[in-house]
Structure 1
């Protein structure tokens, strides 16, 4: 879990645009309740023009 958070943090930092126009990342989180219990997921999306890159993890 720590590795995933470290990678997501590095991606968010890299997407801020050190060379050129800054890219604003957006984060989303979901929590669900079903017959199998509680589930959750989180992700970060980076949009640059017509290109979108997303990174996420489900728990």
Structure 2
């Protein structure tokens, strides 16, 4: 798993700005309160044209 993450990180770094301006990442975070308690979430994303890449942690 760590090798996959490292390879994707290097690929993203190498592709950043390769054909123009770098893509600025987005981030959102939130806290929710429900009957089962308090919940948090964090989301990271990249969007360029029709391609969207995102990662969300609950």
State the TM-score, normalizing by the size of structure 2.
0.67
Q: Distance in 2 between matches of 1:25 and 1:37?
A: 30
Which segments of 5 or more consecutive residues in structure 2 lack a partner in the other structure?
Answer: none
Gaps of 5+ in 1: none
Structure 1 residue runs of 4 or more that deviate by more than 2 Å after TM superposition: 13-16, 18-21
- Count of matched residue positions in the alignment of Structure 1 and Structure 2: 51
Looking at both structures, which has the greater relative contact order when contacts are Cα pairs under 8 Å and sequence separation is at least 6? 1
Q: Which has the larger radius of gyration?
A: 2
RMSD: 2.8
2:42–2:57 contact (8 Å) kept in structure 1: yes
